[in-house]
A and B are shown apart, each in its own frame.
Chain A
């Protein structure tokens, strides 16, 4: 029998992981909701930002917060770059082609990173303490990352609801055609959305880089789970993605303690497959058909 304290610790760790996963899922979901395209390479963009933060902090000795801000800006830049160079030319192609084009980008980034930086695992070493709460040992880095992730999501929420451009983004997500009829330029909205989505990737990268080491296959490790969360929550559905990230992260974390890390993932993915059949529109979807 497993000591309940380990389960409790796993549950809290799952919660903390869920915060960062939610950030990733929201960024990806924002782009999907507006552009109707899944960026398969999304987590690989995160990886690039992580490398940037790593090099700024470890090689150039920048303070982490400054490197973090640069990472965020770099993420936004990557987002715009991907949109202009890859998505814009194929905006009207079949969805399959769009999926494959960003898949090609995934291969490109992953292999180019292997080529440039080899497969070494690199981590930003911060001397952050471990906190003891009610007999559980929690890493301070994770607590910090969780808090910042919640803040970032709050920021995204305010941006989408309180600013003019945010409202416009939500309007496009609802009805692309009608928005163009109202005289708004979808192209501009798309660019802003990609930049915001990229910036979310940048924030996630900063928060991930203080808890995990970065390597070229980082995207392959976190990518599939991120897509599953988005689909589980309902592609484009922000609240759904938020809820789904915590469900998935709890399963992975608790399953990891009871069986093994792989089994945790297997159960999470199996649940995803089952849920696809039970609720194809996502956890919180209302049945439309």
Chain B
């Protein structure tokens, strides 16, 4: 039954942009694209977060990815299709620079969070400081291509292209999550998350696993950043690097639940939908209200439902089933 439901949901998503929604179709497609992209980034974050490697600086990888392709395209005319590889490589190098010393010198918990937070700020400030070619706080607009070169520039006027691209990438993220969840690496990472010394004593290569998972997470985050930049065609240090966006990623994931497959998606969908709802209903009068509400929700969730919305629902369903099973037998 679960499989049938998943297939039906997938079919619905695939048909999404062609459903009759009247004049609001473009808007809804736009919101859904954002949900897919940020959910994918949230999934990438939770690959680390669920094992106790709480990064408060994922904006760094996002920013490196988005700025790498954008600047390569604007200044050298390098197509983002190649640019994305370089962006991922840059993010992986950065991940290595952060993760190697962190795992060698046993920087965990609070300290890891604060170091990554510093990394995120460094990237944001570097982008602002190098304003001659990054545009500083004002950001950069991606150069618009000629009519024929839209494929080379990976900029498309039709939102549906991005819809399918982001859907595909989101599914890819789910697949990576699933793969990891069923692999030996997961057990190893869980052991490391519980107790590093004990894990090392049974022969788990702590440093290798930590660097691997950080690099994977950083690479996926950079891909998300590139896709977002290509879609919005504008990059800005506040929306793509630094503490603000880093915390936003974390919050969406925690809200949905970082230990479950669909948790990041549920959390992202709720936060984006809430922000859009308040924006549409109250307009510019209530600037800040959406974030006020989800800041409050977040505090309440951590206190009362630390497994997140989706995680808690799933646990509840599982317990129900466990309670019902003996009665049926």
Contacts and interface: CB of A to CB of B under 8 A. Distances in A.
Interface of A: 38, 86, 89-90, 93-97, 99-101, 103-115, 118, 216, 220, 223-224, 227-228, 231, 235, 259-260, 262-263, 265-266, 269-270, 272-273, 276-277, 280
Interface in B108-149: 109-111, 113-115, 117-119, 121-122, 125-126, 128-129
Contacts of B298: 100-101, 103-104, 107-108
B251 A266 contact: no
Nearest to B106: A280
17 contacts: A90-B302, A93-B306, A94-B52, A99-B110, A100-B254, A104-B295, A108-B292, A112-B292, A114-B287, A115-B292, A224-B118, A228-B114, A231-B114, A235-B110, A235-B111, A277-B104, A277-B107
Contacts of B114: 38, 227-228, 231
Nearest to A278: B105
Contacts of A100: 54, 250-251, 254, 298, 302
B265 to A, nearest CB: 19
Interface of B: 52, 54, 56, 101, 104-107, 109-111, 113-115, 117-119, 121-122, 125-126, 128-129, 243-244, 247, 250-251, 254, 286-292, 294-299, 301-303, 306
B294 A266 contact: no
Given A101-B299, A104-B302, A114 B121 contact: no
Contact of B303 (A90, A111, A272): A90
Contacts of B291: 107-108, 110-111, 114
Which secondary structure dominates chain A's binding surface? helix
B184 to A, nearest CB: 24
Given A104-B301, A112-B292, 8 more contacts: A95-B109, A100-B250, A100-B302, A104-B295, A224-B118, A231-B115, A273-B115, A276-B107
Interface of B is mostly: helix
B147 to A, nearest CB: 39
Contacts of B302: 90, 93, 97, 100-101, 104
Given A105-B295, A107-B295, A86 B303 contact: yes
B101 A220 contact: no
B124 to A, nearest CB: 9
A106 B125 contact: no
A103 B255 CA distance: 13
Nearest to B97: A273
